Structure 1
């Protein structure tokens, strides 16, 4: 989110993950499981894309994850296990992966899925013309980054279909989490034959071809996505639902009322009633991953000055925002990498000091004055905070606006944009200060920190630091896990010293759902999996 999920990936996720449940009146008890349709909601509206190469926000990935399947799929222990791949062989040096594909893997139109579809899909992600924000997740592959940055050809990328059912992948460096990555949406196959005939294959529901537990039935833009069980899926007998329908209701109060009246199987409760639902046990609080944070455009005044960036970070009362605004039992974020992010030594966060202090109004005011003096400004240039439109984001933005007025004596403006426009503004750096979110694509601290390397597609701040880049590069060449973790720790400390971003709170998952819903597989990292979900009597 990532990226995720991840990007990754990013959107409000702590209380806006797509939830699932059974309606009180929408399904007849006489319906068979195969006829039952799970009704969900995309709380931020239209997905940015349902093309696996471009699906890089939480809602897009949720839908794509139901429609597709990769070489690997995460199991109930959140570990990658063979899916389209029947087996995988890894060379002793950890650089060559040979995947043997199942011969019963098919596309939703009944045609065979082959290793050529995977080779085409991955090189399509890396093709500069595709402009995939998630392309960096394939950079572990030999010459992948070089191709994506037009320094090598597609033929030089270390992905090759040796025959219809054998895919050979060569990595540039040993990557212990590579199999996790192959279970991620950007690594999914695409229908090569169809895309060669119609480059817009994945832009509408009429021509959509996929290979997952469900297939596209209908896509009404800005209204709904409807999927039905894929009769050509290799494990169709394990798919219990007849289909899934996603609404696109971005007002949480309306969505919650739809849930209460049976028009949705689930919904995200609005912030004003969330605490009472948690207290009454009607909403569950589950562990999550990733965080809500804010970006500064360091090329735009006043955030060209580090002290002013730090002033805006330290003037925020994170605990008040968690307790009084989002109210979902989240943990204030005083570092960037979230708790529960694992290295081979254990939890990266455990035993480490906080990297920033919360609600430091006096220090923030001092830094603001010093920064303005350094720039020769008697009046601070005007500041506009950009956020993608939904009620929670609006409330958080208004809380920050008041904190800056109270703690810094600064009046900032607020600007909301529809999700697609908002992401375009971030990508093109058409903002001064922007609400952001991160959902990891794989469970490793490197995934959190890689995004802020110079010219990284997910950086989006204009920040560049040679030492930071060096620390990240050295971490990929470390001779031991202890050395690697130490380098990543130094990188995180430098990131929050320079403050091109500041963290707000770590995500958890707050869900309301009927007891009738069973077997939804929710991973700490990645979108939920509805493959074996069912609605019971």
Structure 2
């Protein structure tokens, strides 16, 4: 395959945090990373010299926001998961267990949840964590004026979708602070994974008194209040963050680290060099070193629920035609992209729902629903010819593939460009855009054919599939199908789990038949960890947790 000619020029960058569409900054090159390397060391070094346990990590780049309703990406989620805590928290087995809530009751019909917040749950400023803090945060997320990208996650709550769509009021949202430490939540329909859903940072509380006095409370370290294992001690924007143990946290005795230092280096080779020199305790593996390092004793490899895929804009030519979309999908050799471009043990994606979701029968969802798209260049060519004939095309209209800036994204885009040329004879132009510009353009249906990534927000296969219902914030394709919408609704509300999964199988097959999105590869977690590090929890669906992390001194 011609693609192999590119292997030496495809210096793909892979890190787990990029998975949520968090991309490199054009200014975050090696020179800037080297400067950050020098600056970041100072505060961490001083803490270590005083005898404190300081875990050194890399957050790639500046968090989008530490407002839980707004920071809907991995560079925000991972830090937030250690600064704050929801009603539930994932344990060592990645199961939702008591967090800020010490207990809860569920009504017999599965619709009403009553949470009892710990008496000793406090904010880092000493204020008690209250039921009103949760009610305030969730209604703020759902307020249409907030424009939270996470709002759809709250639609399981009675009245939430109507409020978010401007058809209801905050008073209609069935989240009630019964008293200071009791929160009542009513759902639209029984939702078996609701406790897991609440581990998502979008459902973290906000100290409502602090937020009402200062709406920008989350933008600086000296105004930020935390209720999790750590507090935000300092924040040098676009450079570094220092977390300190939160002594007001209800389970502070379980926290072994004194501090966590986050660098912001968005270059795989630079952060690997920092790991080698002891300036980072964890790092991702540069793709060109994958074969050499992947089997090392200090490498953590784990599942990670997510998918890299490419969206077709069905409102723009030529992708209004289903067969042309299918042709593009069948022309891509996913195995080569996974093995030679991204590397680090990632798996090619022949379906949309990533492996790791257990069905009611105990099987993996991915195994049950099988491969839905494969590499078949002959079929691709035939579909392209049929689609062009249906549209009356003598030649295909120009196609531009857009991707958000990052070395990995560029490498994958260039490989797809080459495969489409080789297998379909289609010339595709490439364009890259910085994340904020790219995301806005994709949301506004301004991009014709564009890269996307999805990281599961909660542990259920409906989470990815619901992205493509009509008018979903996550749809970004212009596609709408009433039958699909109905399947997803049943996939959320059906109480018979076997029937519910049948609806989800059917929905995924419809997504593959319509091919409004082209799956490429699944994500995984591959991390180098220094020998002295222990106890970091890395959940297949969720965010890394430093509550139990430790450093051997």
Q: Distance in 2 between matches of 1:7 and 1:277?
A: 20
Q: Distance in 2 between matches of 1:363 and 1:457?
A: 33
Q: Do the aligned residues in 1 keep the contact of 2:197 with 2:459 (CA within 8 Å)?
A: no
Map 1:66-85 → 2, pairs under 5 A:
66-85=82-101
Q: Do the aligned residues in 2 keep the contact of 1:333 with 1:505 (CA within 8 Å)?
A: yes
Aligned to 1:39: 56
Q: Distance in 2 between matches of 1:216 and 1:106?
A: 15
Match for 2:371 among 336, 354, 364? 354
Aligned to 1:484: 500
Q: Distance in 1 between matches of 2:323 and 2:48?
A: 65
> CA deviation digits over 1:89-133, x for unaligned, max 9?
111111111111111111111111111110000001100011111
Match for 1:369 among 385, 390, 393? 385
Q: Name the CA shift for 1:531/1:354 in 2 (closer, same or farther; >3 Å).
A: same
- RMSD between superposed Cα atoms in Å: 2.2
Size of the alignment, in residue pairs?
519
| 1:319 Cα deviation after fit | 0.6
Task: Find out whether 1:63 has 2:60 as its counterpart.
Answer: no
Aligned to 1:150: 166
| 1:161 Cα deviation after fit | 0.1
| 1:281 Cα deviation after fit | 4.8
Q: Distance in 1 between matches of 2:402 and 2:502?
A: 35
| 1:426 Cα deviation after fit | 2.5
> CA deviation digits over 1:117-175, x for unaligned, max 9?
10000001100011111111111110111111111110011100011111000111011
Q: Distance in 2 between matches of 1:199 and 1:402?
A: 49
> CA deviation digits over 1:272-302, x for unaligned, max 9?
1112211455533222222211111221222
| 1:30 Cα deviation after fit | 8.0
Task: Find out whether 1:217 has 2:229 as its counterpart.
Answer: no
Map 1:394-433 → 2, pairs under 5 A:
394-433=410-449
Aligned to 1:20: none
> CA deviation digits over 1:181-221, x for unaligned, max 9?
11211110011112112222223333211211111122233
Q: Do the aligned residues in 1 keep the contact of 2:23 with 2:406 (CA within 8 Å)?
A: no
Task: Find out whether 1:101 has 2:117 as its counterpart.
Answer: yes
Q: Distance in 2 between matches of 1:384 and 1:123?
A: 40
| 1:249 Cα deviation after fit | 1.4
Q: Distance in 1 between matches of 2:46 and 2:361?
A: 51
TM-score normalised to the size of structure 2?
A: 0.89
**Range 164-173 or range 290-299, more displaced:** 290-299
Task: Find out whether 1:260 has 2:276 as its counterpart.
Answer: yes
| 1:393 Cα deviation after fit | 1.5
Higher helix share: 2
Aligned to 1:19: none
**Range 341-350 or range 487-496, more displaced:** 341-350
| 1:8 Cα deviation after fit | 8.7
**Range 418-427 or range 484-493, more displaced:** 418-427
Q: Do the aligned residues in 2 keep the contact of 1:291 with 1:437 (CA within 8 Å)?
A: yes
Q: Distance in 2 between matches of 1:254 and 1:292?
A: 24
Q: Distance in 2 between matches of 1:529 and 1:56?
A: 17
**Range 201-210 or range 519-528, more displaced:** 201-210
Q: Distance in 2 between matches of 1:220 and 1:345?
A: 50
Q: Distance in 1 between matches of 2:150 and 2:323?
A: 32
Q: Do the aligned residues in 1 keep the contact of 2:404 with 2:434 (CA within 8 Å)?
A: yes
**Range 216-225 or range 267-276, more displaced:** 216-225
Instruction: List runs of 5+ in structure 2 lacking aligned partners.
Output: 1-15, 25-40
Q: Distance in 2 between matches of 1:298 and 1:112?
A: 50
Aligned to 1:291: 307
Aligned to 1:113: 129
Q: Do the aligned residues in 1 keep the contact of 2:47 with 2:54 (CA within 8 Å)?
A: no
Map 1:254-403 → 2, pairs under 5 A:
254-281=270-297, 283-346=299-362, 347-358=364-375, 360-403=376-419
Match for 1:197 among 202, 207, 213? 213
Q: Name the CA shift for 1:476/1:251 in 2 (closer, same or farther; >3 Å).
A: closer
Q: Distance in 2 between matches of 1:450 and 1:56?
A: 17
3-state DSSP class of the match of 1:130? coil
Q: Name the CA shift for 1:102/1:247 in 2 (closer, same or farther; >3 Å).
A: same
| 1:51 Cα deviation after fit | 1.1
3-state DSSP class of the match of 1:128? coil
3-state DSSP class of the match of 1:462? coil
TM-score normalised to the size of structure 1?
A: 0.92
Q: Do the aligned residues in 2 keep the contact of 1:69 with 1:188 (CA within 8 Å)?
A: yes
**Range 141-150 or range 273-282, more displaced:** 273-282
Q: Do the aligned residues in 2 keep the contact of 1:98 with 1:166 (CA within 8 Å)?
A: yes
Q: Distance in 1 between matches of 2:165 and 2:328?
A: 34
Q: Distance in 2 between matches of 1:10 and 1:30?
A: 33
